[in-house]
Chains A and B, each alone.
Chain A
Amino acid sequence: MRTLVCLFLLLSMPVPRAIFAAGPVELADAWINEAPPTINVHAGYIRIKNKSDREIRLLSADSDAYEKIEFHLSKITDGIASMQKQENITIASNSEFAFSPGAYHLMLINNKRPLRAGDSVQLLLYFDHDMTLQVEAEVRKADPHAQHHHHH
């Protein structure tokens, strides 16, 4: 039975790796910060939950809407903002990792079509253990209030 399911999955998917809808890793709240039309570098955010007992690494990401996707960390050190490219992202066992504004983000480079708030973009996330997850990210306007709750 298990072999049959695997075979079915392999046959039905155009990509060589299997795509899991659910499993040890869950993706939530994927979104892309809408940018002015002339800007072709966007930031994407997502929460990744690792429900397994082993560490999982996010190796790369891909989308038909962008030329390239990198992982970056925004940092403010001594008042200076900088971004550091991350080769991969480690998600500890039974924990959640969040890409969020002002910290880790997906740097989405050169959009191939105009993207406005309300549009959605397919992202493919490639993890180790030969696991690929697909997620739909909504393009939306950032709400500055959403990121700073300490006064409310």
Chain B
Amino acid sequence: MIKNRVLLASIIVVICVILGAGVGYYTSNLLPGEKSTNPGIPGLLWPAPKVILPFAAVDQKGKLFTHEQLDGKWSFLFFGYTHCPDICPVTMSILRQVYENLVKSNNAENVQVIFISVDPERDTPETLAEYTAYFHKDFIGLTGSREQIEQLARIIGIAYVHGEKNASGGYLVDHTASIFLISPVREWTGIFSAPHDAEDITRGFRAIESFVGKNTP
């Protein structure tokens, strides 16, 4: 009789553990390092977002900017150059609209927008300071030595190609048109491909932020 009760109690404990584990799994109490499947949010890079490796660059104030400054914030990265008259200002205006949308809904304190120059020779910190502030006072501009920018491009995995110089010394740069979203734990979690739309990106960001928040152990 006592033996039976012990057996029954054991069975109940086992069932509870199994149920508990199941409930835990479905409320996404994932084990460290474990990631849930991609629910099909557009632009979400999941379940294997790439970790952003260490880098160093120079910001628009002439100060050192490293990977550590990506920690704790959602970062929108856009690669471009200030001598790009058409696509870059259009994209920057869209990012301003996205940022203003997030400011309005009090979502912006943990968000930063970073313009990374693929033309560090012409884009000095002073040029970038004026360029980024023109679009929004909070925007960050990154430049650096040619090696630093090449390293940063390699880390993200983007391509850019400098064209030949013309008679007056001007040149064009081909560069990725996408906007990259880096999570507060420095993982490349989202990509917004061109053509861009501010409302699409705002919605996409909110969906990704909320999903990653619920699915990060």
CB distance from A75 to the nearest CB of B (A): 9
| Identity of the chain A residue whose Cβ is nearest the Cβ of B134 in the assembled complex | A36
CB distance from B209 to the nearest CB of A (A): 21
| B interface residues, tally (CB under 8 Å) | 34
The reply on A80 being an interface residue by CB < 8 A is: yes
The reply on B199 being an interface residue by CB < 8 A is: yes
Inter-subunit contact B90/A107 (CB<8 Å) = no
| Identity of the chain A residue whose Cβ is nearest the Cβ of B200 in the assembled complex | A151
| Identity of the chain A residue whose Cβ is nearest the Cβ of B128 in the assembled complex | A38
Q: Which of A6-14, A39-47, A56-64, A131-139 contacts B (4 or more CB under 8 A)?
A: A39-47
A81 to B176: give the CA distance in the assembly, Å. Answer: 6
The reply on B33 being an interface residue by CB < 8 A is: no
Given contacts A81-B174, A102-B90, A144-B97, contact A43 B198 (CB under 8 A): no
Task: Please indicate the chain A residues that have their CB under 8 angstroms from the CB of B200 in the complex.
Answer: 151
B residues contacting A by CB (< 8 A) are 82-87, 89-90, 93-94, 96-97, 126-127, 130-131, 133-134, 159, 168, 170, 172, 174-178, 193-195, 197-200
Inter-subunit contact A80/B174 (CB<8 Å) = yes
| A interface residues, tally (CB under 8 Å) | 33
CB distance from A98 to the nearest CB of B (A): 13
Which residues in window 15-69 of A have CB below 8 A to B?
33, 35-39, 41-43, 67-68
| Identity of the chain B residue whose Cβ is nearest the Cβ of A151 in the assembled complex | B199
